[in-house]
């Protein structure tokens, strides 16, 4: 289990790097990690932040996830964190 956690945390670092460069799939993946608490503490606020910027970058999966969470108002709203 420890090796899996290490791998996920390494992946998370790459997701952050790619997200900062504008990769909406990485933004979406970060949302998933935070929403589900995968190898990190669950944090819905951070999950919504990443879903929101991914959706604003055109990521359809992030838009669907925001709708699922009842947060469609965040799709076109400026993000804050």
Q: Which domains does the chain have, with CATH numbers?
A: 2-74 (1.25.40)
For residue 78, is pLDDT > 70?
A: no
From its phi and psi, is residue 37 left (phi > 0), alpha (psi between -120 and 50) or beta? left
Q: What is the mean pLDDT of residues 12-32?
A: 96
What digits encode the pLDDT tens for the residues 39-64? Answer: 889 999 999 999 999 999 999 999 99
Q: Name residue, tokens 């669907």.
A: 64
Q: What is the pLDDT of residue 81?
A: 52
Burial 8-47 (b: 16+ CB within 10 A, else e): eeebbeebeebbeeebbebbbbbbbbbbeebeeeeeeebb
Q: What is the pLDDT of residue 52?
A: 96
CB-based contact 74:62 (threshold 8 Å):
no
């Amino acid at each position: 289990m420890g090796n899996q956690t290490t791998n996920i945390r390494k992946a998370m670092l790459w997701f952050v790097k790619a997200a900062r460069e504008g990769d909406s799939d990485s933004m979406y993946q970060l949302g998933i990690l935070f929403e589900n608490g995968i190898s990190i503490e669950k944090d819905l606020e951070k999950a919504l932040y990443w879903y929101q910027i991914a959706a604003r970058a055109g990521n359809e999966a992030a838009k669907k996830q925001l709708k699922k969470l009842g947060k469609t108002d965040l799709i076109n709203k400026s993000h804050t964190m």
